[in-house]
Structure 1
Amino acid sequence: MAEQKKSKGLHIGLWVAQVLLAAAFGFAGFMKIATPIDQLAEGGMSFVNSFEAGMVRFIGISEVLGALGLILPAALRIKPVLTPIAAVGVAIIMVLATTYHVMHSETFLPNIILFALAVFVAWGRFKKAPIQAK
């Protein structure tokens, strides 16, 4: 009985982490896709000045796809193994973002927090509370 409660609590915690990650990456990615590049640079996204417009759009598309991958396969129970794979992809994005921010002497704490959440989701959905396909 205690194992079921523990498993249910972990399952809920993983869903909360997935939704938070999906919201963060979906919002950030959509902004990179939909906002004109010059407005992104003016809005405080300093990395925009370092990359070509195509690279910024690619990063945005990657973030939106990661957000969708964190939610849809698990929620629809269609190929749910794609959810922890998406979490690994999001963690890789955060490693790259952290490296960039460290190299430019910028704050990287949000990247570390998102990385930790992504690793938690990947670990939980691969090992402890995988979602079964239909």
Structure 2
Amino acid sequence: MNIALWVVQGILGLAFMMAGMMKSFQYEKARASMPWVKEVSKGLVLFIGLSELLGGLGLILPEATGIAPVLTPIAAIGMAVIMLLAAIYHAMRKEYQAIGINIVFLALSVFVAIGRL
């Protein structure tokens, strides 16, 4: 079970860090590749990006270093909340193709949260 949790944490951590880096530091690239970015403020996109970046780090670093490992399931719960809100937002915009990945990441984040608690 520990190996499965590490694999999922690695995948989620890298995916969230990559998405967060693009939204935080490459705004124009995010604006060109994600339609919703054009319709919300730059500040909100930056906030979401930083949240994803820090959440991705939180999924890996506390458990890997042994320093405050209780932060890993907390980060997983936070990322699950972000993915739930993203799925609701995309559903309201009728962007159904984007909801699938949100649901998958939501389920994987819940798996990590439960597994690490």
Q: TM-score range by the shorter chain?
A: over 0.9
What is the RMSD of the two structures over their aligned residues, measured on CA atoms? 0.9
Q: How much does 1:124 deviate?
A: 0.2
Gapped regions of structure 1 (runs ≥ 5): 1-9, 127-134
Q: How much does 1:34 deviate?
A: 1.1
Displaced runs of 4 or more, over 3 A: none
Please, what TM-score do these two structures have when normalized by structure 1?
A: 0.83
2:55 paired with 1:66: yes
Q: How much does 1:51 deviate?
A: 1.1
2:32 paired with 1:42: yes
SS in 2 for 1:86: helix
Match of 2:14 in 1: 23
Give the distance between the partners of 1:36 and 1:85, measured in 2 at CA: 27
Give the distance between the partners of 1:36 and 1:24, measured in 2 at CA: 17
Correspondence list, 1:79-118, <5 A:
79-106=68-95, 107=97, 108-118=99-109
- Structure number with the higher helix fraction is 2
Deviations 1:52-100 (A, max 9, x none): 1011000000000000100000000000000000000000000000001
Q: Figure out how many residues of one structure are paired with residues of the other and give that number.
A: 115
Same amino acid, percent of matched pairs: 51
2:45 paired with 1:56: yes
Gapped regions of structure 2 (runs ≥ 5): none
